[in-house]
Structure 1
């Protein structure tokens, strides 16, 4: 059994929103409250909506409807709600809240800008009016490929205000990866920027956006923010300046949208095929994000949440909607946490009074190398919680963050779920002791269990993480691909969501994630399907076929290693490996480029032609590859072992 190192104090518990919520509902014991939250999920989420004070244009008549099956649960039936209205108008109309800080932006160069709720509301209205004038209508898809600037947040809220749907794209993606997402939802509009700063250098973004638009016939207009004021290619028939689009100060009433109308399609990678477009609705993702932020992390008015992320990853929109629905403040940061000094992250925390700091184990491993001097002279007294997501911890960086940076005062709230979840399945909070690298258990409303291969609950051994009931925020399927959604999550056991994580619960009731049960990679917390990288590789004229695996990496947690079969032979072929690494980096973004590319004669395949990545990974890492009886060419495995020197 693992021993806790942080224990909540009674006064800490009693100051939390979750405690007040529990007390109002007649609970003082957390375990009893959790059991009731999964015993009666309709009651639970109804109470959450009331406690958050959400504003409905038309009240719902039923909390949930599972008549089409658990996989297609509909929430807040017949309710009308617009999430932009609830994030902004609700507070702007309240004299005590309208001048409260909503967003702080800091650029790579230290430039800072602040927006109150009213400031943000005004900018969102300007853009919403401009987009509507441009032809954006309810139900249309708008791709957002922007750096971490305030306009990214404004764009999301403006699109939602119209009743349209936005698709956020990682700012580090190359054109092909952006185009895949544009094409997936047939977006007619692309919002981007001329560029941004990273480590003091200009990153040209408009050029990549142009290439993505050229690859996407659906794109009619490209809206461009002048972040840097740089000269860049301009297509007068397609390009529109953000400043011109937002020149008029007009207001636009929020569209009356159904609770189950989509407002966001965010793509997440799987182990096979193209990225999956997870569909999120007005009464789903934002509500789950706000619940987790407000009741697990205890974010509220006066708090400043800073999650080191990108808007193309789930935690970006999570931060936006989680903070704004709670009337609190987000910090959006364009730069990197260790530039121009290794202590930039701690400088930001001190400068802006950050109360909730969200990081990844990869980031902490990188900052550890610089020692303690960079934070020891900083005033970090504002910090109340470290949030952590993206990948499992290893003990050394966890203890360094908790003991050295946080002085054993600031708890590390592990948080794990996913894009399809809209937040967390497992987490820590102020009601349970914290064990290094572990989770206190499932969050309220999340009926999670650990199943063995027979679908039976297990303790003390590794099993599959599953959910046995629906929850607010669950993806409303994949965009125009219902069967793939059902096959991915609902096909193994009846009425049971299979999440794809290996989990173990120890005898003390602490939960630990041991890794993915499928082939999905997590590179520095960024989820990547091998098929997406393989598709880029086979676009190279020399590559016939490819396979990608994830291997442990001391800095990133996991890195991609690729195996390719190529045309030709000899020295000319061997010189391709570095070129292929660059080739992938240019198209997918430097952050996702593979650690290494190996050229092989053939890839291990089953008799029906399926490439077995599991076998490749095991052979490369010198692990037991398991049953190879289904392989057509078992000798290929031995060649990979020799390649790795094992």
Structure 2
């Protein structure tokens, strides 16, 4: 059995793609017809990329949690919806059927209502990777509250910044989280974030690690106590709030080229249609398959391909609390065998890390249940692609190399498993409805000509249902970040190659954003954190090739603090970055310098620093325009 609108052959892909470009409104309307709508749309699409303004399925009424849960109860009520593997392999795993997940989401929707949460309120979710995280997400969607999930590795300051930006009056968290050998004290980080913030009304705390926590009277409540109140009243159903297709569903913060993270807003209707469509097509999901996405729900991949994409398709979605190397590097492979996983979707960073342990961790695993492999977050290098293909897939599983971003909602460019051609290191072809273009530095489109290759900046010239609608509270920032560089186009910030067959290969960021372990971090954000250290006068941050992470963070720092060893000063700076942003943004290398290469107008020439960090010492380009060309020689001689 295949899903409606599931592509079944290469010819089907070609004809579907052609239709989606010639009649996008007719195409997406026919896809959208497969969902539960309280009221159909008045118009399929209204858009212009100048304002920017994009509206899909305007006037339609729906609830996404109803599409993820209620509509599957009759046919798939007893099928696992969520499977969960704990951090500790000895702890019993959990399986929630669609009926059980429905009941738990309805109960928690009552909890939210009982604690004052209303439609349109922003709810911050800061939890470990446990089933209560998607339960909280779906309960927010059910009552029409806007969820904003924050990754468990972010610092108190990063959380405070996001709370203030979203004016989130409600928080859902855990006492702590298990991640590998670490216990992360989530509630105490929230407490630190709330120092000086007076507008938060309620903090709901789930017990996971039994870490002692401070509970403030009137503000903090225990999840379990609140559920008991609902159970006492026998409340197992909750009528879903009727939402407009263009009502916000969630805010997810992502780094940009300025220091302040921006809150990407996705809406109920278009996001649902696009995540579902991309999920069933790219992975060629079949009913009964077990889909294992290893991402954290704190990132967009977890939103789209653990929660909303799979559940809206009635799939069985597996989530994992821990890390791939705990208690040893065979953990992923043991999980695959334990749950008979059919689809494995993970990051190149994880694969490169696991490769470094050799083949021994794979030897006791069967892996024969696997049908489709996938990668996400960054371009995968050919060596890792071939290792994944041969050692994990045994040469029998297509690998989908998926390219997309937080702002996109779902996969935009990828081969379709077993249907369209795969090529190591190439994202290959756009999905139906996606119209990529390459432009040169002047913004002139480089048209595709059969038999010719080209490279340029990657843009999209027509909206798809999953495109971001705005950045929360600052629409002008959305316009500046994505629609101002090349008028009439959505600019991805990535460069790409296009070969003679029209296949795309992503070459990486062309703006001041790093891609570290598949996560985007703005250079300005890291520089701001480094500069908060009392001894730092100025800093400049660039990316450089890293064997495991793909890109590492290299910081050039002018330091005038207390006299101590360079190593001690480096540790102090790293502690500052961890405190301000989180450990994810710690520089891999910190080089102390007496000056930075600047033009006479004061602009730091990061191009030069990037080449030095990459080990390219000779072709640095013209340095004659620098205020002090001699500083370049000093930086080169001190390279780490």
**TM class by smaller structure:** over 0.9
Aligned partner of 2:423 in structure 1 is: 435
Is residue 573 of structure 2 the alignment partner of residue 585 of structure 1?
Answer: no
Match of 2:394 in 1: 407
Output the CA distance in 1 between the equivalents of 2:6 and 2:185.
49
Residue 411 of structure 2 corresponds to residue 424 of structure 1:
yes
Q: State the shift of 1:304 in Å.
A: 1.6
Match of 1:497 in 2: 490
Q: State how far apart, in whole Å, the 2-side matches of 1:70 and 1:383 are.
A: 45
Q: Using a 3 Å threshold, how does the CA distance of structure 1 residues 274 and 221 change in structure 2: closer, same or farther?
A: same
User: Partner of 2:239 in structure 1?
Assistant: 253
Aligned twin of 1:638? 633
- Residue 291 of structure 2 aligns with which residue? 305
- Which of 129, 141, 150 is residue 160 of structure 1 equivalent to? 141
1:160-213: per-residue Cα shift (whole Å, max 9, x none)?
111110111111112112222112211111111111222244222211111112
> Partners in 2 of 1:89 and 1:268 — Cα distance?
31
Q: Which residue of 2 aligns with 1:8?
A: none
Q: Closer, same or farther in 2 for the Cα pair 1:260/1:631, shift >3 Å?
A: farther
- Aligned-pair CA distance for 1:520: 0.9
**How far 1:441 moved relative to its partner?**
1.0
Compared with structure 1, are the counterparts of its residues 286 and 523 closer, same or farther at alpha carbon in structure 2 (3 Å cutoff)? same
Paired residue for 1:601, among 578, 590, 594?
A: 594
Q: 1:38 pairs with 21, 44, 48, which one?
A: 21
Structure 1, gaps ≥5 residues long = 1-14
Alpha-carbon distance change, 485 to 634 in structure 1, aligned in 2, over 3 angstroms: farther
Question: Which residue among 252, 276, 281 is the counterpart of 1:295?
Answer: 281
Query: Which whole-Å CA distance do the structure 2 matches of 1:283 and 1:451 have between them?
Result: 31
Aligned-partner Cα distance in 1 for 2:429–2:403:
10
Deviates more, 1:326-335 or 1:556-565: 556-565
CA contact (8 A) 2:435 2:461 kept: yes
In the other structure, the counterpart of 2:335 is 348
Aligned twin of 2:57: 76
**Structure 2 counterpart of 1:277:** 263
User: Are the counterparts in 1 of residues 49 and 487 from structure 2 also a CA contact under 8 Å?
Assistant: no
Report deviation, 1:67: 6.2
What is aligned with 2:254?
Answer: 268
1:435 match: secondary structure: coil
Assess if the C-alpha contact under 8 Å between 1:519 and 1:614 holds in 2.
no
1:451 correspondence with 2:451: no
Aligned counterpart, 2:480: 487
TM-score of the pair, normalised by structure 2: 0.93
Report the secondary structure of 1:152's partner residue.
Answer: helix
Instruction: Determine which of 355, 362, 373 is the counterpart of 1:386.
Output: 373
Deviations 1:532-567 (A, max 9, x none): 222222222222332221111111111112222333
Paired with 1:271 and 1:612, the residues of 2 have a C-alpha distance of 15
Cα separation, 2, equivalents of 1:318 and 1:20: 18
Aligned partners of 1:222 and 1:240 also within 8 Å: yes
Matched, 1:49 2:32: yes
| Aligned equivalents of 2:498, 2:372: Cα separation in 1 | 24
Contact 1:197 1:203 in 2 (8 A): yes
Inter-partner Cα distance in structure 2 for 1:629 and 1:217: 53
The alpha carbon displacement at 1:38 in A equals: 1.8
Q: Distance in 2 between matches of 1:561 and 1:602?
A: 15
Distance 1:620 1:360 in 2: 24
- Structural mapping, 1:531-546, within 5 Å: 531-546=524-539
Two-structure CA RMSD over aligned residues (Å): 2.1
User: Which runs of 5 or more residues in structure 2 are unaligned?
Assistant: none
Q: CA deviation at 1:631?
A: 4.3
Deviation at residue 606 of structure 1 after TM alignment: 4.1
> Any conservation in 1 of the 2:20–2:27 contact (CA below 8 Å)?
yes
The separation in 2 between residues aligned to 1:124 and 1:604, in whole angstroms, is: 55
- Verify the 8 A CA contact 2:215 2:221 in the aligned structure 1: no
Q: Which moved more, 1:457-466 or 1:314-323?
A: 457-466
Pairwise CA distance, 1:97: 1.4
**What is the aligned length?**
624
Q: 1:629 to 1:35 in 2, by over 3 A?
A: farther
C-alpha separation between the residues in 2 aligned to 1:213 and 1:629? 50
Q: How does 1:222-261 map to 2 (within 5 A)?
A: 222-247=203-228, 248-249=230-231, 250=235, 251-261=237-247
Q: Matched residue of 2:470: which SS? A: coil
Residues 545 and 614 of structure 2 are in contact (CA less than 8 Å); yes or no, is this contact kept in structure 1?
no
Q: Does the aligned pair in 1 maintain the 2:389–2:397 contact within 8 Å? A: yes
Secondary structure (helix, strand or coil) at the match of 1:64 reads strand
| 1:17 CA drift (Å) | 4.0
Q: Which moved more, 1:393-402 or 1:371-380?
A: 371-380
- Tell me whether 561-570 or 401-410 shows the greater mean CA deviation: 561-570
Whether the aligned pair in 2 keeps the contact of 1:70 and 1:469 (CA below 8 Å) is no
- Compared with structure 1, are the counterparts of its residues 635 and 275 closer, same or farther at alpha carbon in structure 2 (3 Å cutoff)? farther
**Aligned mates of 2:181, 2:48 — CA distance in 1:** 55
Cα distance in structure 1, aligned partners of 2:201 and 2:615: 51
Counting only pairs closer than 5 Å after superposition, residues 308-323 of structure 1 correspond to structure 2 as: 308-319=294-305, 320-323=307-310
Distance 1:389 1:99 in 2: 31
Tell me the distance in 1 between the aligned counterparts of 2:627 and 2:513: 24
